[in-house]
């Protein structure tokens, strides 16, 4: 048996989060804070007070990946997916544990990672090749192929700081995928590109894996993970919960979502309003009953229950529905942002029947204020549309059944 391309043993990563610095609005507050500083330091040394918080982004992660495998990494926001890739890429160091990566490694973790903004696209291609340990002649052999894939021929000698995000990611992926790396790490950054570009990227990753190179793929596009990856890692709160077949990993992952008929106890929310605006329950009703499996031909509505810690002059609450990671639709409880009073609130979203196709959908919920503050929780719950609905069979296929009229003229 060949040696693994990647081997991870007992991997831990701890982050230290400092508290916000005190704000001093008057000279008196500044003076008193300065006088108290030595006492605070003494208390900290004596273990009586601590100005930082610590949390484990990864805890005791162990796995091996063989050459030529395409491995998906799935999990909710905050599960540790990007931290794991940053450690494998040597962008950040582990707190403890051991990793082994055999051969050259190329990573595409964030838009522009590894690019120098003042250099042109041409110069950055050769710079990245040099970082991978390739000679100028080796990079030159791949140069035309990279530029054609990225579709930036006209701008190849323009400084990349002037590129759009789409141009940036096309070039970054082209460089990472075409240069002769043995291991390719790809994060959710593919979401920046359009659908056609994403399909080209997925096809290229198939080619990379077929040539015996290893691919690590992080994505919320569950359909892409299912089609591309033979094996997947499921991360949950920094721990590796499952390592095995992708179908089993996705089943476990989707099974951890709350049904759309109860409290959002395990949902993860992020954003500036996450401590001030809480989402407590998500309920789905059909025929005046709380359900989680719906007749796709029947009208239904979703109720979002929450608690506001203060008044908001202008605020929108919204939900989004996804199918296999694809964003199907977003709905807002008001056409324009309106006031939200302190205390409990309920937002109701009503949907006509005959739109959603049978299958399982995930739901994200959030809010945004007119001042730009927001809170969002992706994949907080699921709901399903039954395939057993009395023999009624619409002709449409896909995630949604769009109403239309058609006629044949001969």
Give the 3-state secondary structure of residue 253. helix
Pick the closest to residue 175 from 130, 129, 211 (CA basis).
129
Q: Are residues 242 and 207 in the same domain?
A: yes
Q: Are residues 75 and 203 in the same domain?
A: yes
> Could you read off the pLDDT of 37-46 as tens digits, one per residue?
555 555 555 5
* Domain-embedded: residue 25: no
To which residue do tokens 């109860």 refer? 262
* Domain-embedded: residue 316: yes
* Domain-embedded: residue 402: no
* Interatomic CA distance for residues 283 and 289, integer angstroms: 10
- Residue 76: predicted pLDDT: 78
> Could you read off the pLDDT of 278-289 as tens digits, one per residue?
999 999 999 989
Token output for 307: 């608690």
Token output for 185: 């790490």
- How many angstroms separate the Cα of 199 from the Cα of each of 81, 143, 223, 228? 22, 21, 12, 11
- Residue 59: predicted pLDDT: 93
Q: Could you tell me the CATH number of the domain that includes residue 355?
A: 2.70.50.60
* Domain-embedded: residue 267: yes
Q: Could you tell me the CATH number of the domain that includes residue 160?
A: 3.40.50.300
Q: Are residues 268 and 246 in the same domain?
A: no
Most confidently predicted of 188-202, 205-219, 255-269: 205-219
* Domain-embedded: residue 31: no
Token output for 224: 């892409």
- Residue 175: predicted pLDDT: 83
Q: Are residues 113 and 73 in the same domain?
A: yes
Give yes or no for a contact between 374 and 316, defined as CB atoms under 8 angstroms apart: no
Total domains, the chain: 2
Split at pLDDT 50, 70, 90, the class of 185 is: confident
Is the confidence at residue 12, as pLDDT, over 90? Answer: yes
Where a domain ends, among 202, 223, 255? 255
Q: Are residues 214 and 274 in the same domain?
A: no
To which residue do tokens 């160091």 refer? 93
* Interatomic CA distance for residues 143 and 147, integer angstroms: 6
Q: Are residues 262 and 244 in the same domain?
A: no
Pick the closest to residue 87 from 158, 10, 150 (CA basis).
10
Token output for 214: 């290893």
User: Residue 245: which domain range?
Assistant: 56-255
Where a domain ends, among 220, 255, 290? 255
Q: Is the pTM of this model over 0.85?
A: no
Give yes or no for a contact between 34 and 77, defined as CB atoms under 8 angstroms apart: no
User: Counting every residue, how long is the chain?
Assistant: 410
Q: Are residues 248 and 282 in the same domain?
A: no
* Domain-embedded: residue 14: no
207: exposed, middle or buried (C-beta count within 10 Å: 0-12, 13-18, 19+)?
exposed
Q: Are residues 177 and 292 in the same domain?
A: no
Q: Are residues 151 and 86 in the same domain?
A: yes
Task: Let me know the angle formed at the C-alpha of 328 by 257 and 279, rounded to the nearest 5 degrees.
Answer: 45
Give yes or no for a contact between 74 and 33, defined as CB atoms under 8 angstroms apart: no
Is the confidence at residue 193, as pLDDT, over 70? Answer: no
Please list the residues that pair with 178 across neighbouring strands.
Answer: none
* Domain-embedded: residue 224: yes
> Could you read off the pLDDT of 325-374 as tens digits, one per residue?
678 889 999 878 889 999 999 999 999 988 888 888 888 899 988 777 88
User: DSSP letters of 101-157?
Assistant: E-S-EEEE-STTTT--TTSBHHHHHHHHHHHTT--HHHHHHHHHHHHHHHT-GGGTT
* Interatomic CA distance for residues 327 and 311, integer angstroms: 31
User: DSSP letters of 277-306?
Assistant: EEEEEEEEEETTEE-SEE-TTS-EEEEEEE
Is the confidence at residue 405, as pLDDT, over 90? Answer: no
* Domain-embedded: residue 391: no
Q: Are residues 300 and 326 in the same domain?
A: yes
Q: Are residues 217 and 268 in the same domain?
A: no
Q: Are residues 158 and 214 in the same domain?
A: yes
Where a domain ends, among 255, 281, 297? 255
- Residue 26: predicted pLDDT: 53
């Amino acid at each position: 048996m060949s040696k693994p391309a990647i081997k991870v043993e007992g991997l831990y990563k701890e982050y230290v989060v400092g508290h916000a610095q005190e704000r001093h609005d008057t000279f008196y507050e500044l003076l008193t804070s300065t006088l108290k500083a030595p006492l605070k330091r003494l208390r900290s040394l004596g273990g009586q007070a601590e100005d930082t918080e610590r949390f484990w982004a990864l805890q005791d992660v162990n796995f091996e990946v063989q050459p030529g495998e395409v491995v998906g990494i799935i999990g909710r926001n905050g599960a540790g997916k990007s931290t794991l890739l940053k450690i494998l890429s040597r962008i950040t160091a582990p707190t403890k544990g051991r990793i082994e990566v055999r051969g050259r490694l190329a990573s595409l973790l964030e838009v522009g990672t590894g690019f120098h903004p003042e250099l042109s696209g041409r110069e950055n291609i050769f710079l990245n090749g040099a970082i991978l340990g390739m000679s100028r002649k080796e990079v030159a052999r791949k140069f035309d192929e990279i530029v054609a894939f990225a579709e930036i021929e006209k701008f190849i000698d323009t400084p990349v700081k002037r590129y759009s995000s789409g141009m940036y990611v096309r070039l970054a992926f082209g460089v990472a995928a075409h240069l002769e790396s043995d291991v390719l790490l790809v994060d959710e950054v593919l979401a920046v590109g359009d659908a056609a570009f994403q399909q080209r990227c997925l096809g290229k990753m198939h080619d990379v894996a077929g040539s015996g190179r290893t691919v690590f793929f992080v994505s919320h596009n569950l359909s892409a993970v299912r089609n591309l990856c033979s094996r997947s890692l499921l991360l949950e709160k920094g721990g590796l919960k499952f390592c095995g077949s992708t179908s089993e990993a996705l089943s476990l992952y989707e099974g951890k979502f709350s049904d759309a008929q109860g409290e959002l106890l395990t949902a993860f929310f992020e954003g500036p309003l996450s401590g001030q605006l809480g989402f407590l329950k998500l309920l789905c009703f059909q025929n005046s009953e709380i359900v989680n499996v719906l007749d796709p031909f029947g009208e239904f509505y979703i109720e979002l229950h929450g608690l506001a810690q203060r008044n908001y002059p202008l605020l929108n609450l919204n939900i989004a529905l996804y199918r296999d990671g694809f964003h199907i639709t977003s709905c807002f409880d008001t056409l324009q942002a309106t006031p939200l009073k302190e205390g409990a609130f309920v937002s109701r979203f009503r949907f006509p029947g005959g739109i959603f196709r049978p299958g399982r959908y995930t739901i994200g919920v959030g809010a945004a204020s007119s001042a730009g503050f927001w809170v969002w929780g992706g994949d907080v719950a699921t709901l399903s549309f039954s395939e057993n609905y009395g023999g009624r069979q619409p002709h449409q296929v896909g995630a949604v059944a769009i109403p239309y009229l058609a006629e044949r003229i001969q």
